Amino acid sequence: MPKVKILSPDVISKIAAGEVVERPASAVKELFENALDAGATRVEVHLKDGGKSLILVKDNGSGIDRVDLDTIFTRHATSKIANAADLEALLSLGFRGEALYSIGAVSEVTVRTRTEGAKEGWELFLRGGARERVAPAAVASRGTEIKVEEIFFNTPARKKFLKSDSAEFDQTLNIFVPYALFFPSYHLTLTHNGRTVYDLAPAQSFAERAAKALNLNAQHIIEAEDSFPQDKIAVKLVLGDINIQRPRRDLQYLFVNGRPVQSRNLLFQINDIYRLIMPEGVHPFFAVFITLPPEDVDVNIHPTKREVRVRQESRLGGLLRGAVERALMTKGGAKEVAANDVFTFEPSGSGSNSAPARNFGVPADRIVFAPGQKGAAASIGRPAAQYWMAPTGYRRDDLPIQPPAVESGVNFGDMYQIPGMSSAAKAGESGHLVRVPERLARARFVGTFVKKYHLFEEGDALFVIDQHAAQERVVFEKFLRQIEAGKVEVQHLLTPVLIKATPQEMLAWESSEDKLKSFGFETTQLDEGTLALQTAPTLISNPEQAVRALLGEESLARADKESVARRACRASVMAGDKMSQVEAAQQLKELLSCKDPFTCPHGRPVFIEIKSSFLDRQFLRT
């Protein structure tokens, strides 16, 4: 009895379809690309239930001849290439002839089409790859309409693993938006369950289309072009300046010969240039369009055609770096401070923290002794206008009433008693190996390096603390404790912070508004693309970035408390703020009180230890 069998055509078709059509968004991508390849300048995409029940794509392209209706749903049937040599000069988006075949194999498909000059149109209906009807149809104008219903009806295993309607629709948005950016002169429409999400009329420029499609301020978008004739390369750049900052790399688009692609190396090169104007922890918006000889690009390496190989990619990366840097340095604007970027707070009721408005550029939650403030400052005889700057994330009631007088070489272990630490262990008299936190507690402050690292000396060791990672750990644990207790301390904004959200962010907000509120972020929808943030947790120093980070969390409505706290804190704490010795002392106290002072919430080390013996070896002293 032979073990090797030839699979039936039905099984083969389903296997092949699984490689191309992973989810409804995959079908949208293939149909959308076919419309663009057919010369369409107007494309409509209509979905129901995230595409699970219905995908309808209408275009004004060239249409399909009656004779071609007999073959377009046959495997490897294509009008894009004729022989192997054509693979070396691909300019079309599709070329394999597998898309329609794969879609038809796992769904019900209805095609209505008419070509230019034809007296009538035609309609084709398939179910599970089987052709059931081809007949004349009344089609008003040139173009094609393809309706896909009940996708994966005959492959229940694939259908079972589809996600929620909103999650599947979000994947379609990730397909639609890049093409909307690349074809600014086209009229593109996207609806979901009868609601219009995008209705993009033809734009005059790439920047105008990007501003409309992504809900960005057009004034902060740079357009530039560069060419390198010796390499036969041309680059079109659409770059956000320093005023467009994102907590994630969700607005970064790369195109090669009109095709949206992924390239880790090229994206790294662009992001690395942005470090010249942006701090760590925030990310830019950009859309980069690269044109190079087709023979220098191999797009035939992945079924989805999202990955490409580029000849001399390192050379291209270097050229791209120079082009982006020139554009940012010659056309980029200065950092702007809008009125709603300056947060002011109103006194709140029980369970909330009240704070004075910001003054002289000093954040309110870092003012301990404010002008005219009564209470602690007056009781100890300090001038009313004296400020003590506390590390971001510390509330005033967390700090000592009077900042300790700190001299050079202060012993932090003498200043603060670490919970659970005996005086003998503190003094190192136990004779046993002293734990790192206990050694840190009695360390001597040496200084701060490049506004990022605090240096402490203890015995024959030098401790280097990452102030950003340390602050992240402190804020994270405080915030998590408040979330778990159900008592998140919030601050009420006198003027709501307006957040211009992308369609993806609005989609996430609709399903997680109550979840955000439970974590202290009370938001309302102001208009189709704007959220108004009215309250924020007192521990979060940048609530807008925190909200954006949370809306980028996959399935936020079902996310656990720890992942929400981690995401919010990551978007809120930044490095680069200069901290005094007093502030370093307070941060160390809070850090050593944490359950896990060794790493930040994302696994990076908070501090490292350098032995004097290591330095001795570097200086050849041993």
* Amino acid (1-letter code) at residue 36: L
Amino acid (one-letter) located at 116: E
Residues 6+ apart with CB under 8 A from 198: 176, 180, 188, 189, 190, 213, 503
The alpha-helical segments, DSSP class H, found in 143-246 are 156-160, 165-182, 206-214
Last residue of a domain, one of 331, 359, 385: 331
Structural domain includes residue 2: no
Picking from 311, 331, 351, the residue at the C-terminal end of a domain is 331
What average pLDDT does range 216-238 have in this prediction?
Answer: 94
- Kindly indicate the confidence band of residue 433, based on its pLDDT and cuts at 50, 70 and 90: very low
pLDDT for the residue 411: 43
End residue of a domain, out of 310, 331, 352 = 331
Residue 102, pLDDT score: 86
Nearest to 113 by CA among 133, 149, 139: 139
Alpha helices, H only, 362-451: 376-379, 412-415, 423-427, 436-441
Give the domain range for residue 247.
Answer: 206-331
Measured distance between the N- and C-terminal CA atoms of the chain, rounded to whole angstroms: 76
Question: Does residue 119 belong to any structural domain of this protein?
Answer: yes
Check if the beta carbon of residue 308 is closer than 8 Å to that of residue 297: yes
Q: Give 539 or 125, the one with higher predicted confidence.
A: 125
The beta-carbon contacts of 62-67 under 8 Å, at least 24 apart in sequence, are 62/38, 62/115, 62/116, 62/142, 63/38, 63/113, 63/114, 63/115, 63/116, 63/118, 63/121, 63/142, 63/143, 63/144, 64/111, 64/113, 64/115, 64/122, 64/144, 65/115, 66/122
Beta-carbon count within 10 A of 380 CB: 10
Alpha carbon distance 198, 360 (integer Å): 42
Residue 375 in this model has a pLDDT that exceeds 70 = no
Cα separation, 530 vs 306, in Å, equals 31
Q: Which residue has the higher pLDDT, 160 or 48?
A: 48
The domain spanning residue 192 has which CATH number? 3.30.565.10
Contact 514, 507 (CB under 8 A): no
The two tokens of residue 440 are 């840190």
CA 484 distance to own-chain centroid: 26
Coil, helix or strand at residue 196: strand
pLDDT of residue 296: 83
Residues 460 and 501 in one domain: yes
Q: Is 104 in contact with 149 (CB distance < 8 Å)? A: no
pLDDT surpasses 50 at 387: no
- Residue 433: give its domain's CATH number: 3.30.1370.100
- Over residues 7-15, the mean pLDDT reads 60
Quick one: 153 and 60 in the same domain?
A: yes
284 touches 328 (CB < 8 A): no
Do both 609 and 466 map to the same domain?
A: yes
Is 151 found in the same domain as 44? Answer: yes
Q: What span, in angstroms and rounded, lies between the C-alpha atoms of 108 and 11?
A: 17
Describe the strand order of the beta sheet including 607-611 as a list of residue ranges.
444-449, 453-458, 461-466, 607-611
Question: Is the pLDDT reported for residue 354 higher than 70?
Answer: no
Report the alpha-carbon distance of residue 395 to residue 538 in Å, rounded.
Answer: 7
Kindly tell me if the per-residue pLDDT of 22 is higher than 80. yes
Q: Tokens standing for 183?
A: 């074809």
CATH number at residue 259: 3.30.230.10
- pLDDT of 193 strictly over 70: yes
The residue with greater pLDDT, 493 or 346, is 493
**Domain presence at residue 48:** yes
617 and 526 in a common domain: yes
Q: How many distinct structural domains can be found in the chain? A: 3
Written as six digits, the tokens of 455 are 């240096």
Average pLDDT of the chain is: 78
pLDDT recorded at residue 258: 87
Q: What six digits make up the tokens of 96?
A: 């394999």
Residues 90 and 228 in one domain: no
Q: Provide the token pair at 434.
A: 């002293």
| 71 belongs to a structural domain | yes
289: enclosing H helix or E strand: strand 286-291
* Predicted model pTM: 0.70
Per-residue pLDDT band at 425 (split at 50, 70, 90): very low
Dist CA 115 CA 442 (whole Å): 83
Looking at residue 296, the DSSP 8-state letter turns out to be G
What is the per-residue pLDDT for 31? 92
Q: So what's the pLDDT on residue 353? A: 41
Question: Does residue 346 lie in a domain region?
Answer: no
Q: How far apart are CA 542 and CA 535, in angstroms?
A: 12
Question: Hey, what long-range contacts does 133-136 have (CB within 8 A, 24 or more apart)?
Answer: 134/69, 134/70
For residues 489 and 351, the answer to whether their CB atoms sit within 8 Å is yes
User: Domain check: are 225 and 99 in the same one?
Assistant: no
33 belongs to a structural domain:
yes
In the chain, % helix, strand, coil (3-state, to 5) comes to 35, 25, 40
Contact predicate 584/447, CB 8 Å? no
Residue 352 lies in a domain: no
Paired residues of 237 in beta bridges: 224, 288
Q: How far apart are CA 19 and CA 443, in angstroms?
A: 59
Q: Are residues 555 and 610 part of one domain?
A: yes
Candidates 238, 224, 226, 240; CA nearest to 292 is 226
Classified as helix, coil or strand, 409 is: coil
Q: Is residue 100 part of a domain?
A: yes
How far is 304 from 30, CA to CA, in rounded Å? Answer: 9
Q: What is the pLDDT of residue 341?
A: 46
Claim to verify: residue 448 and residue 513 sit in the same structural domain: yes
Nearest to 391 by CA among 584, 520, 247: 584
Tell me which residue has tokens 């089409």. 113
Same domain, 602 and 504: yes
Q: Give the pLDDT score at 401.
A: 34
Span 344-367, average pLDDT: 40
Task: Check whether residue 534 and residue 518 sit in a common domain.
Answer: yes
Binned at pLDDT 50, 70 and 90, residue 91 comes out as low
Report pLDDT for 389: 34
Confidence at 390, pLDDT banded by 50, 70, 90: very low
Of residues 125 and 400, the one with the higher pLDDT is: 125
**Of residues 238 and 480, more confidently modeled:** 238
Q: At what angle do helices 165-182 and 503-518 cross, to 10 degrees?
A: 140
Structure confidence by residue, pLDDT tens digits, 438-459:
888 888 888 888 888 999 998 8
Specify burial of residue 8 (Cβ count, 10 A radius: 0-12, 13-18, 19+): exposed
